[in-house]
A = this chain, B = another copy of it.
Amino acid sequence: MLSKKTKYGIKALTYLARQENKTPVSIATISESENISLKFLESILLTLRKNGLLGSKKGKGGGYYLLKESNEIQMTAVMRILEGPISMIPCVSLNFYEKCDDCPDENACAVHKLMAQVRDSSLEIFRNTTLAELCNC
């Protein structure tokens, strides 16, 4: 299941990507437009800023803005920051690899084999999709 955190994060990012100029947008504005709890959104945007996707400006007229062009932001980055690993299981993860306790041989494991395929196909989609493409809805 996709967490609400990721869902809201993607919505907020596309909202920012749809802005003509790079002037900051306040959390409250995004929260109202996208029907997201203000305080929850606050923490989501903070993680996106700490991970280098967003910039922020405090005080009056402040808010959040994209640090890169929307066509330069791959969904792999967004997903890894908000949702964590792309893989459904750590033993096939490229960035978050972990061995399974119960599994004596990964190469002989049915789950490993299946989930590696799923990871590959998901990865391809997230890599080939940028924020810009998701805005043209």
Q: Which residues of A contact B (CB under 8 A)?
A: 1-2, 7, 10-11, 14, 34-36, 75, 85, 88-89, 101-103, 107-111, 113-115, 117-118, 121-122, 124-125, 129, 134-135, 137
B10 touches A102 (CB 8 A): no
Number of copies: 2
- Apart from A75-B114, A121-B125: 4 A-B pairs, beta carbons within 8 A: A1-B85, A14-B110, A36-B102, A113-B134
Closest to A84 in B: B1
Query: What's the Cα separation between A115 and B134 when bound, in Å?
Result: 11
Query: What's the Cα separation between A60 and B118 when bound, in Å?
Result: 40
Closest to A14 in B: B110
